[in-house]
Structure 1
Amino acid sequence: MPQIRPATPADLPAILNIYNHAVTHTTATYDHAPVSLESREEWFAERQAAGFPVLVAETEDGGVVGWASYGAFRPKLGYSRTVEHSVYLAPDFQGQGLGGELLDALITQATAQGYHLMIGVIDAENEGSLRFHRRHGFSEGGRLPQAGHKFGRWLDAAFLVRRLQEMDAPPHGQG
């Protein structure tokens, strides 16, 4: 069974391959063209500098077969307790519970870091991802009709949300 661990720069080629497979074959991301290793290196450095995790699922033989991360939902101070997450798996490792392990690890870390809400922006036709999120305590917070496009058609974006912890009031005067 793969283990979940923090990613290192050496994992970036595998993370890139998993992501680019999703770019070219799915609507899990609305990117239209594969991204470069340099862009993933920048993304990773930005996540690290901001204190956001990048996790990988690694097999016993050292292969990275999935990754997950979260980052700022929006850059305004009022959203500072809300994060948006991503979970991606290599095609041969989907449907085996590994995505749930990655997501649970993200939820645990985001809660420990004091975040209040986690959001996933999902293609509204992706029933598998919608079910996956519901199984992990997310509910639909809204839909944006025709918010994106890919493969020659309009795509609705569903916002799946999970409250991570109750807070009587938002933090006063801090991020």
Structure 2
Amino acid sequence: MIEFTPATASDLPKIVAIYNETIPTHQATADLQPQTVAEKQAWFAAHNNHFPAWMIQVDHKIVGWLTLSAYSDRSAYDQTAEISLYLDVAARGHHVGSAALAFVDREAPKHDLTTVLARIFGHNQASRNLFTKFGYDHWGHLPAIAILPEGEADLEVYGKHFKSRA
């Protein structure tokens, strides 16, 4: 059973550990060095009822996390969030990502969010396919914007509009 529970400050070490697992793969983040809990505290503190963070559990074991973060600090973007979804290596390929995006479909309007954006490396075909499967459209292409150890990487922007509950 896949469950989503609100993330708390005590979850931050697990969030950072899962995030750091992805850094060496160069598939999901442009960070090149592991992050510390202290470095992520301000980022985590920016999440609230409007821009929430959740832990993902399978059979009561934490396997990932999901956030809807502020896209911009400019007020015209208050209803726009950027999604981050990170899964433990063992949870990948087991439909947890699909469950997470289905969860976001239900939750985004409850948090008065009308737009969710995803930034995905062009070479991360699995994530691109997942977001496309859940109705995210390809909204942008930023060629050779990231410099990774293996070379330049494109960034693709996917987006989806939701109706606010208001």
Q: TM-score, normalised by structure 1?
A: 0.86
Structure 2, unaligned stretches of length 5 or more?
none
User: Matches of residues 13-162 of structure 1 in structure 2 within 5 Å?
Assistant: 13-48=13-48, 51-60=50-59, 62-162=60-160
RMSD: 2.0
CA distance in 2, matches of 1:37, 1:166: 33
Please state how far the C-alpha of 1:108 moved relative to its aligned partner.
2.1
Structure 1, unaligned stretches of length 5 or more?
168-175
Q: TM-score, normalised by structure 2?
A: 0.91
CA distance in 1, matches of 2:75, 2:51: 16
Over residues 43-67 of structure 1, what are the superposed CA-to-partner deviations in whole Å (9 max), with x where a residue is unaligned?
Answer: 221213x73211111233x431110
Please state how far the C-alpha of 1:107 moved relative to its aligned partner.
3.1
Residue matched to 1:172: none
- The list of structure 1 runs, each at least 4 consecutive aligned residues, that deviate by more than 3 angstroms after superposition, is none
CA distance in 2, matches of 1:113, 1:70: 10
Contact map agreement 2:117 2:160 (CA 8 A) in 1: yes
CA distance in 1, matches of 2:142, 2:26: 19
CA distance in 1, matches of 2:10, 2:75: 33
CA distance in 1, matches of 2:38, 2:3: 26
Contact map agreement 1:14 1:65 (CA 8 A) in 2: no
Please state whether the residue corresponding to 2:24 is helix, strand or coil. helix
Contact map agreement 1:67 1:102 (CA 8 A) in 2: no
Identity %: 25
Please state whether the residue corresponding to 1:47 is helix, strand or coil. coil
Please state how far the C-alpha of 1:102 moved relative to its aligned partner.
1.9
Aligned length: 166
Over residues 95-135 of structure 1, what are the superposed CA-to-partner deviations in whole Å (9 max), with x where a residue is unaligned?
Answer: 11111222222332221122221100000111100100011
